[in-house]
Structure 1
């Protein structure tokens, strides 16, 4: 059994302060409602929902929403001849990109909001992007489809690993 060679591995999570302030702020409203209405037995708001409804909202939004954002992660891995990208929980298996289909690649500094409409898995006129935070990455140009941007906190290392992976695969064929 051959051992898999990993030239590059990076795992990113959302770490923007403003995003966490919004997510936790929304969750805090449901925590306050749950504590006030269920635990302290006071009505929460002028038209309170039932205890069961509030408990369901609390679990879904007060606990589920922060957990959902916390569990999201972008994993990028480069192996000889292949780039793998996995945006958990949207991808159960990594998206495999054969590097022989990449005609060109470059280091990219971009504006996530203006160029792609934000962070995550994004589609725009500029192509597709996988990004979590920051504004640097590697843009891949293909023979038969629009460009793909892979956001990275270590874009230069990713760029070098892609080059090494392409050379290794070419040397093996």
Structure 2
């Protein structure tokens, strides 16, 4: 399942790749409700909720495992990948993911870690030797774990 791609003039092997978009119905329902209420109550200010809906629609997270580490990109926040080298990963584990990050973490722990999640479900949490832990939401947690631990 490895795929070779040219990045910066070099061939790199991608052993795992996933692109996620917002698909949690409750987020879309809330955005539609706010937009509808704003349109009825204050028509000129409907631009703000419509902008939020557009950002939600365009939002996507891309996760790749390459031969030198894990790469994560959140399209609406940054256009470039954040690299987490394998040498910086102390351990990783599959976790339950809520809308605001790891379901098992307290609010304080959630603030001390970084989360790339768009949907509820599963994720892989990377505990780093240097820096904050990183939670990566995924629909394929077992495949992501296997690609990281190989």
Q: TM-score range by the shorter chain?
A: 0.7 to 0.9
| Alignment pair present for 1:58 and 2:33 | no
Q: Which runs of 5+ in 2 are unaligned?
A: 1-8
After superposition, the Cα gap between the structure-2 partners of 1:148 and 1:15, relative to the gap in structure 1 and judged at 3 Å, is: same
1:115 aligns with 2:105: yes
How many angstroms does 1:65 deviate by? 1.8
Displacement of 1:3: 2.3
> Which structure is higher in strand share?
2
Partner of 1:74: 61
> Cα 1:132–1:104, aligned 2, differ >3 Å: closer, same or farther?
same
Stretches of structure 1 that go unaligned for 5 or more consecutive residues are 38-53, 165-173
1:115, 1:124 within 8 Å by CA — same for their partners in 2?
Answer: no
Is 1:94 matched with 2:51? Answer: no
Aligned pairs, number:
138
Contact 1:116 / 1:129 at 8 angstroms: preserved in 2? no
TM-score, normalised with respect to structure 2: 0.78
Distance 1:12 1:96, change over 3 A: same
Distance 2:119 2:142 in 1: 16
| TM-score normalized by the length of structure 1 | 0.68
- Which structure is higher in helix share? 1
User: Which residue matches 1:149?
Assistant: 135
Distance in 1 (alpha carbons) for counterparts of 2:124 and 2:75? 20
Q: Counterpart of 1:4 in 2: which secondary structure?
A: strand
3-state SS, counterpart of residue 89 of structure 1: coil
Do the aligned residues in 1 keep the contact of 2:96 with 2:104 (CA within 8 Å)?
Answer: no
